């Protein structure tokens, strides 16, 4: 892996979330309220051949938890979702044997639907999650239990 490849993935997956949070938190603090939902990945636990991707998504969890601690007293919650194998444009081009293996390693026995991730994001952005802060919720069909 080149430094350019490392930096490109960090910029997209981690730095972009840092800069977005940095931009919105001052307004949230002044209004004493806010909801931030970051996107991590089940790959944050490590994945062969994806050091840059896994590190960036693990960094999202660290960023999320730190910002939750720093801003929780201002009624700002900061959480993350960690999707597993989801049927998206990114996964549709995976080789069939890779998709089959991911399905076998997932207790749910299938890949997820984007709407299942969206439902968790919607919950975290709602008032129903007012006491949920600093969490990273896995939406992986149980993949992280394996």
Active site residues: 53
Instruction: Provide the Cα torsion 29, 78, 122, 119; round to 10°.
Output: 180
DSSP state of 85: S
The DSSP string of 62-74 is: HHHHHHHHHHGGG
36 Cβ contact partners less than 8 Å away, ≥ 6 residues apart: 21, 24, 25, 28, 64, 67, 76, 77, 78, 79
């Amino acid at each position: 892996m080149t430094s350019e490849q490392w930096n490109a993935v960090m910029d997209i997956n981690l730095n972009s979330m840092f800069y977005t949070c940095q931009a919105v938190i001052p307004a949230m603090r002044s209004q004493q309220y806010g909801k931030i939902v970051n996107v991590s990945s089940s790959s944050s636990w490590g994945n062969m051949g994806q050091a840059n991707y896994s590190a960036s998504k693990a960094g999202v969890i660290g960023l999320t938890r730190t910002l939750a601690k720093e801003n929780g007293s201002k009624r700002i919650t900061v959480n993350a979702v960690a999707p597993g194998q989801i049927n998206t444009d990114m996964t549709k081009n995976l080789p069939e044997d890779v998709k089959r293996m991911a399905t076998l390693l997932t207790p749910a026995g299938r890949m997820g639907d984007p709407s299942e991730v969206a439902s968790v994001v919607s919950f975290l952005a709602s008032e129903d999650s007012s006491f949920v802060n600093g969490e990273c919720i896995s939406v992986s069909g149980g993949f992280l239990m394996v």
